Amino acid sequence: AGLTMASEKVQKTSPWKYLGWQIGMHSFSAQPLQISTEIETLHDAQKLLGTINLVLPLLGISNADLEPLFALLRGEPDLLSPSHLNKEAQIALQKVADAISQRQSTHWVPELPLWLIVLNPSKQPHALIFQWDSEKVDPLLIIKWVFLPNNMPKTIPMQDELMAMLIIKAHQRLTSLAGKDFDCIFLPLTMFYLNWLLQMSEKLQIALADNPRQISIHPPKHKLLNSSFNLLPKPKRSQTPLRAMTIFTDVIYGSGKTHKSVIVWKDSETGTWQSDIAVVEGSPQIVELAAVVRVFQKFSTPFNLVTDST
């Protein structure tokens, strides 16, 4: 009652502007954003990252590129604590500004298949939901980029685990977008490694369980796709114990944050037990990790490693 719509607010022609987006007949992009570079406090940094996060699925900028900006959020939790843009953060912010002005996504074309490709940059993999229209000059139709969280729940996640997380997240996005499965998923693997993972990686099996369609290791030829489609190497870790020396690591808890990082093994020549102990500061997980790192530094031949995962 009493609610009226101002006729001058009705948008009748393309492009339409809605909630920060500029929507055309066949594509959409972010409206020009005023990104403030006047960063003086943690609160300013939070607002900056919040603005970027709104358009991140469109930009195709990885978490590795944004790491200098994420670093602004670390430190004191006080909203008024000082925070400033350093040179690395300014470079990252310029990448965001360039992407906002240059990149766009296309509308989903129901007649074309929907594909997913996992791209594997050096620091953290990400994925792209896309379609392929061979009749266009540039056949790549970007639908949506998919990224993992900047702060992962595990300190050192495995590559197959990261791929599984991306596939699951992308599948959830596609379900809300089109209510269907991917017609094909492209993975940065050799056929040998793909077959091995499908047998041994429970996480990847779960991620692909709801997708009965095709899995491929040969993506379409396109500069944007092939430049980041780096094949994962064959894993060096065996799923079964080796006929080799067994090494144990553990933590001897001390007072405060100082603990002893312990390595124990049986010398194959003398038959005597040997140990290597170092004092390390940090949480028990950090101390345990320090022991594991020393094992790899100390031994160059294959071995079995038994470690406390807590």
pLDDT in tens, 62-101: 777 788 888 888 878 788 888 888 888 888 888 877 777 6
Strand order in the sheet with 16-18: 16-18, 21-23, 27-30, 105-106
**Of the residues 226, 257, 275, the one at which a domain ends:** 226
Average pLDDT over residues 215-221: 90
253: domain CATH number is: 3.30.420.10
Whether residue 234 has pLDDT greater than 70: no
Which of these three, 73, 102, 131, is where a domain ends? Answer: 102
* Residue 239 is assigned to a structural domain of this protein: no
CATH of the domain at 217: 3.30.420
The H or E element containing residue 286 is: helix 284-298
- Taking the C-alpha atoms of residue 241 and residue 303, their distance in angstroms, rounded to an integer, is 9
Co-location of 198 and 296 in the same domain: no
Domain of 23: which CATH number?
Answer: 3.30.70.270
Q: Are 72 and 39 in contact (CB under 8 A)?
A: yes
Q: Quote the pLDDT of residue 33.
A: 59
Instruction: Give one DSSP letter per residue of 92-160, joined into a string.
Output: HHHHHHHHHHH--EE---TTS--EEEEE--SS--EEEEEEE-TTSSS-EEEEEEE---SS-SSSS--HH
Over residues 262-271, the mean pLDDT reads 90
Task: Single out the residue in 167, 196, 226 at which a domain terminates.
Answer: 226
pLDDT score at 108: 77
pLDDT at residue 229, as a whole number: 57
Which of 167, 224, 24, 186 is CA-nearest to residue 105? 24
Look at the block and give the residue holding tokens 């140990």: 275
**Are residues 88 and 111 both part of a single domain?**
no
Q: Is the pLDDT of residue 240 over 70?
A: yes
Q: Are residues 110 and 87 in the same domain?
A: no
Domain extent at residue 191: 105-226
Model confidence at 216: pLDDT above 80: yes
Task: Determine, yes or no, domain membership for 2.
Answer: no
What pLDDT, on the 0 to 100 scale, is given for residue 169?
A: 92
Tell how strand 140-146 and strand 105-106 pair up.
unpaired
* pLDDT level of residue 116 (50, 70, 90 thresholds): very high
Judge whether 279 lies within some domain: yes
The number of domains in the chain is 3
Helices and strands (DSSP H and E) totals, the chain: 8, 13
pLDDT at 246: 93
pTM > 0.75: yes or no: no
pLDDT over 80 (residue 256): no
Instruction: State the Cα–Cα distance between residues 22 and 19, nearest whole angstrom.
Output: 9
Same domain, 112 and 210: yes
Identify the CA nearest to 124 among candidates 170, 81, 67.
Answer: 67
User: What pLDDT, in 10s, does the model give residues 271-309?
Assistant: 899 999 999 988 888 888 899 999 999 998 999 999 876
Q: What percent of the chain has pLDDT over 70?
A: 80
Q: What is the pLDDT of residues 135-179, one digit of tens each?
A: 888 888 888 889 888 777 776 788 888 999 999 999 998 988 888
